[in-house]
Amino acid sequence: MNSLFSFKYLIILLIGGLLSVLSCLYFSDGTPTILSMLFSVVFVLLSVNMSLENQMYMIAIGIPNTKALGFGGISASIVICFVAVLIHFIKDKKKPSIPLLAILLLLYSMQYLFRNDDYRMGAVMPIKTVANILFFVFLSSNVKIASDSFNIALKATIALLVGIVSAMSASIFGMNDAQRVSVVGNDPNMLSIEIAFVLSVLSVTYYSRKQFSQFFYLVAVFILGVLTMMCGSRMGIVLYALVLFGSVFLNAKEISKTMLLVTLLGIGITIFLLSPFGQSLIEAITLRIEVLERSDNVSNGRFEIWQQYFNVLNSNDLYWLFGLGSFSDYGIENMAHNFLLEDVAAYGIIGVILLYFTYFGIYKRQYKLVKRIKRFKFSYFFAIPFFVPLIGSLTLHGLGSIMITTMLYLGILCMTGSTTQIKNTII
């Protein structure tokens, strides 16, 4: 075991994952209980005296379990961001500057208080968003993180995998009415994107960083594929296939690795599909597709939802500029399931510009800081993790959610990993 995985890091994974499992087990039908709240409090308190990178690992563990591991609609990961920002503002002598756009976004969001008495979009969401932004500001200004950028991204991704497994383990044998794994605290679609992101980082590590053995990588590919199928998300399956195809295509010169991957993966998939468990998953996915086709609803209602959003936005030109705030106030029952439409509907074009430029300004700051510390060459292969959440959000949630923003940030860290080749095998 290489020193990359320190004893303290492994303890964080163990305790964080255990608390995540326990919060799921005691989260009752979408309602927090005293015990689930207690585990969430302990989860947050453990992060208080941690370093920035360790706090990020805790956040990554909590991301796949945002409802059960939280406080009535406010996830433990967001609370850790908020607490970390307060602590580092007090302790750190050299404080990074707060982006002006973040302040403008906070002020801009107050319009929803005056327009619709919308406290969620006018107060709660802006505070959560700014806490997330400021946490990333500290990360993107930290020299230690910049100097070891890819390894930190890798460890955060493994922490995310621990969170995925912990979120699924409490309900891994349960199938909901749509014949998909019922995951407490996260919908299967988002979970499948997180799985594809983990696969993308592990693929980059395996092909270009020499940190994983072939056996570990192939086992990981197989397990992540099974988890993806259990989620039953068509976008998740597409992303899984795209990551594998992109990894093979962009590393065509690695013939031995590519042929071994394709051969063993083919054998593994065949054995899995012939097994009783594999057959049951295939039948569940096939049944879901057939139901959608029979009801002439291949998009699973997304086209109708998108049209509903367009109808409301087109009813008043000001809605396009300043947004709706909470969509439920306008008779819309479902989220848009498209990041751009959902964000424009919520914030308006003006708010989306403030939101996107704020986050991507931070990601750009991180990229430039790493470039000042060490040399690296941009590679499309190393950029795959960054594009996974972007593609996945085309049929899912807005880019302002902590799940998406964290994966995008880790994707930026992965982009900076095309220099140092580490020869020691970890696993």
With 60 as the cut, is the pLDDT of residue 403 above it?
yes
| Closest by CA position to 36, among listed 69, 62, 67 | 69
Is 119 a domain residue?
Answer: yes
Query: Which of the listed ranges 11-15, 167-171, 173-177, 308-312 does the model predict with the highest average pLDDT?
Result: 11-15
Q: How confident is the model at residue 282 (pLDDT cuts 50, 70, 90)?
A: low
Is 406 a domain residue?
Answer: yes
Q: Of 180 and 47, which is predicted with more confidence?
A: 47
pLDDT for position 424: 41
Is 159 a domain residue?
Answer: no
User: Whole domain around residue 186: which residue ranges?
Assistant: 97-143+169-415
With 90 as the cut, is the pLDDT of residue 195 above it?
yes
Q: Write the DSSP string, 304-329.
A: HHHHHHHHHHHT-HHHHHH--SSGGG
| Closest by CA position to 166, among listed 203, 135, 194, 189 | 194
Is 39 a domain residue?
Answer: no
- Number of domains forming the structure of the chain: 1
With 90 as the cut, is the pLDDT of residue 285 above it?
no
| pTM (predicted TM-score) | 0.87
The per-residue pLDDT for range 321-351, each reduced to its tens digit, is 998 888 888 888 888 888 888 999 989 999 9
With 80 as the cut, is the pLDDT of residue 270 above it?
no
CA 287 distance to own-chain centroid:
28
Q: Looking at the DSSP assignment, which residues form a beta bridge with residue 175?
A: 181
Is 259 a domain residue?
Answer: yes
pLDDT for position 250: 80
Is 280 a domain residue?
Answer: yes
Average of per-residue pLDDT across 206-210: 79
* Rounded Cα distance, 358 and 214, in Å: 39
The per-residue pLDDT for range 30-87, each reduced to its tens digit, is 678 888 899 999 999 999 989 999 999 999 999 998 888 888 778 999 999 999 999 9
* Rounded Cα distance, 178 and 46, in Å: 37
Q: Of 216 and 81, which is predicted with more confidence?
A: 81
**Which residues of 299-423 form beta strands (DSSP E)?**
none
* Residue with tokens 């959000």, as numbered in its chain: 393
pLDDT for position 88: 87
Is 305 a domain residue?
Answer: yes
* Percent of the chain's residues with pLDDT above 90: 37
Measure the CA dihedral 58/61/66/68, to 10°: -100
With 60 as the cut, is the pLDDT of residue 414 above it?
yes
With 50 as the cut, is the pLDDT of residue 187 above it?
yes
Is 138 a domain residue?
Answer: yes
